[in-house]
Chains A and B, each alone.
Chain A
Amino acid sequence: MFPSFSVIIFTVLSGAGLGLLVLGMIVFIVLTQSDTFFQSRLILILGLVLLNAGLVSSWFHLGQRQRAWRGLTQWRSSWLSREAIAALMTNALGAILLGALFIDSNLATLRMIACAVTIFALLTLFCTARIYDTLKPIPAWNNQWVLPNFVLAALVSGAFCLWMIKGDMTTPNLILCCGLLLALFFLKRAYWQFIDGLNTHNKAGHATGLEALGRVRAVEAPHTERNYLLKEMGYVLARKHAIRLRHISVVFFALVPMLSLVAAWFGADWVVIKIVALFSLMGGLMVERWLFFAQAQHLVIAFYDTRRS
């Protein structure tokens, strides 16, 4: 699948914003005192800015942007529509909470709204992942690994944003962050092992139903020039490049952030380290998301398969 830059930016930035909102709101509900209102406002503002930056980026991916509002109408059948509604609700509730924080409302009310924000942020993450894992013609996405990986990546990026805002981290929180990061690393590794072991039916004989007659291969494409299908789904990354990119992404999204957490454990939690860790994490996640697209083969390419199989 062609890795569209706007969709990669959308999933990584919005994922970070939603992860920040989820974790930030949980912290708010559990630990709120009125002197943390400033940090809570920052969390909300940063979370909503990241979420909307991603949404605007994905809005640019559309062919007819002026009709984008129609994307909210088919929630009965479409995960993309459900995600749009959930994102809108998260925005609305986040804005309400922000307003309520500025006018110093009743703590119980604030906690209720924060709860709603958490729920809708999680729902948005869930719906986004379901868009991908319900696509049957893409075996690399149509499996149970995509949802947990997606949600965990968002939570990890949210956790590091939260660390930046909160300033310091208590030991249990450091351990929690480490745990989340390790979980993401192992889950990602398991996903990559899974897709490496996929026996994709990208064979011309299977797609055309002619495999019963013998070994089938395409000898003439239907067109001499490019077409949309090959442009969008014909992108296949060579194995050796994929492996190298996986290593690069792991260094940036796992190793460098882990080192920064270790440094913080030993008391070296300067702002520079946090910024480096956050940017490294986001950069690594973008590389990983790029790979998520580039390593996914669409079944339609089987019709163009020139290998004898």
Chain B
Amino acid sequence: MTSLPSPSTKKLGLVIDLDICVGCHACAVACKSWNEQGQFGPLPDENAYAQDPMGVWFNRIHTYEIEANNPFPPHLKKQESELLQKLMTQEKTQCQSTPAAMTVHFPRSCLHCEKPDCVTVCPTGASYKRAEDGIVLIDEQKCIGCKLCSWACPYGAREYSEVRGVMQKCTLCVDRIYNETLPVDDRQPACVMACPTRARHFGDLGDPDSHVSEMVRERDGFALMPELGYQPVNRYLPPRPRRSESPENTSQDPPLNVNTLPSVLRWLDRVLSR
């Protein structure tokens, strides 16, 4: 049924910590192998052993490089570096922080949106959102593989399987989280359990007291492309500010030129700045 259910308070979803993710792809592999034999049927690949393999993966990890807003090249001469430091301090008082350059690994999978267009555009009723917990699923017995749902999803959550002729997507491991044959601690999505750095968390984002909601509040978790109106449930926790942006360094005191200090004080400055 592709009309959306009336919203319930339970909104199961994932919280992904972009500060901790190291891009190991364990979650992607765990997802692929669990769903290969899960309730929703196999995830076969075309040409798996040939030159041009292609297949459906529900979870894909991108890697991005973020350039610093105000790069501070280390090779500048002393006067130039002092001048730049002065300018930077002035600018720092205007904008809150000057983030450093960094690499961010970004797992992308279905965000189980509250108002998913992928559900309403489906002509057969194969795409549906569960009323009891908000998980968005595909009934592969009904799907005709018209691909319109993948056109409607800006996050690339849905992929078409050439081999099976239907669309497939992240199921939030609905066949694990309610599975009584698994020990209680294992009733979590495969990707959450596989993550070696505990960058992925599963819980009820509709419950303000759940540990995932607390995390989102604490770290200012954000949704992807909220202006489209899909109201994604999953949240991403942004990278924490780097050491060079700590409050001590963004003070309004005049910049300290450490080269004029005696060596003992230079050492002290170094130690205290750690």
Chain B residues 1-56 with CB under 8 Å of chain A are 1-4, 18, 23, 28, 52-56
Q: Is the CB of A61 within 8 A of B146?
A: yes
Taken residue by residue from 126 to 147, chain B's Cβ proximity to chain A (1 for < 8 Å, 0 otherwise) reads as 1000000000000000111111
A214-B66 contact, Cβ under 8 Å, with A73-B124, A81-B123: yes
Structural contact, A218 and B160, CB atoms closer than 8 A = no
Rounded to whole Å, the gap between the CB of A224 and the closest CB of chain B is: 9
Does A308 interact with chain B (Cβ within 8 Å)?
Answer: yes
Decide: A303 and B66 in contact? CB cutoff 8 A: no
A80 to B229, CA, bound (A): 21
Alpha-carbon separation in the docked complex, A220 to B24 (Å) = 12
- Flag if B66 contacts A71 (CB, 8 Å): no
Contact with B along A186-212 (1 / 0, CB 8 A): 000000000000000000111111101
Which residue of A79, A223, A308 contacts B67 across the interface (Cβ within 8 Å)?
Answer: A308
Q: Which residues of B contact A244 (CB under 8 A)?
A: none
> Across the interface, do A300 and B154 meet the contact criterion of CB distance under 8 Å?
yes
Give every chain A residue within 8 A of B68 (Cβ-Cβ).
214
Of residues 105 through 162 on chain A, the ones whose CB sits less than 8 Å from some CB of chain B are 131, 134-138
CB-CB under 8 A from A63, the residues of chain B are 143-147, 160-162, 164-166
A137 engages B228 (CB within 8 Å): yes
B210 at the interface (CB under 8 A from A): no
Complex-state Cα separation, A218 to B108, whole angstroms: 13
A residues near B148, Cβ cutoff 8 Å? 80, 131
Q: Could you say which of A212, A222, A299 contacts B225, with CB atoms under 8 Å apart?
A: A299
Query: CB of A232 within 8 A of chain B?
Result: yes
Tell me if A64 and B122 are in contact (CB < 8 A): no
Q: Are A207 and B225 in contact (CB under 8 A)?
A: yes
Say which residue of A77, A208, A221 sits within 8 Å of B2 (CB atoms). Answer: A77
Does B224 belong to the interface (CB within 8 Å)? yes
A67: Cβ under 8 A from any B Cβ: yes
B81 within 8 A of A: no
Instruction: Contact check, B65 vs A217: say whether CB atoms are below 8 A apart.
Output: yes
- Interface positions, chain B 73-117, Cβ under 8 Å from A, are 99, 101-104, 106, 108, 117
CA distance A220 to B108 in the complex (A): 13
CB of A70 within 8 A of CB of B142, answer yes
Verify if A62 is at the interface (C-beta below 8 Å from B).
yes
- Closest CB in chain A relative to B25 CB, distance in Å: 8
The verdict on A207 contacting B122 (CB below 8 Å), with A71-B144, A220-B62, A232-B160 known, is no
Number of A interface residues at 8 Å Cβ cutoff, please give it.
Answer: 59
Contact of B228 among A78, A134, A136 (CB under 8 A): A136
A/B pair count, beta carbons within 8 Å? 199
Residues of A within 8 A of B238 (CB): 209-210, 212-213
**A286 at interface, CB cutoff 8 A:** no
Q: Is B62 a contact of A232 with CB atoms below 8 Å?
A: no
B150 within 8 A of A: yes
List of A residues within 8 angstroms of B202 by Cβ:
none
A215 CB–B CB distance under 8 Å: yes
**Does any Cβ of B come within 8 Å of A225's Cβ?**
yes
Say whether A56 faces chain B, with CB atoms less than 8 Å apart. no
Q: A104 CB to closest chain B CB, in angstroms?
A: 39
Residue B153 lies at the interface, judged by CB distance under 8 Å to chain A:
yes
Whether the pair B103, A219 counts as a contact (CB closer than 8 A) is yes
**Chain B residues with CB under 8 A of A136:** 117, 152, 154, 228-230
- Is A1 a contact partner of B143 (Cβ separation < 8 A)? no
Contact of B155 with A by CB under 8 A: yes
A218 partner, pick from B62, B99, B142, B153, beta carbons under 8 A: B62
Given A131-B121, A210-B238, A232-B160; 18 other pairs, CB 8 A cutoff = A63-B165, A64-B143, A64-B165, A70-B126, A74-B1, A77-B4, A80-B121, A80-B123, A80-B148, A205-B66, A216-B66, A225-B52, A227-B54, A229-B150, A232-B147, A298-B151, A300-B154, A304-B62
What are 17 inter-chain pairs, A to B, with CB distance below 8 A? A67-B144, A70-B144, A71-B146, A74-B123, A74-B124, A78-B120, A209-B222, A216-B65, A222-B61, A222-B108, A223-B60, A227-B159, A228-B160, A229-B150, A229-B159, A232-B147, A298-B154
Q: Which residues of B contact A (CB under 8 A)?
A: 1-4, 18, 23, 28, 52-57, 60-69, 99, 101-104, 106, 108, 117, 119-126, 142-148, 150-156, 159-162, 164-166, 222-225, 228-230, 236, 238-239
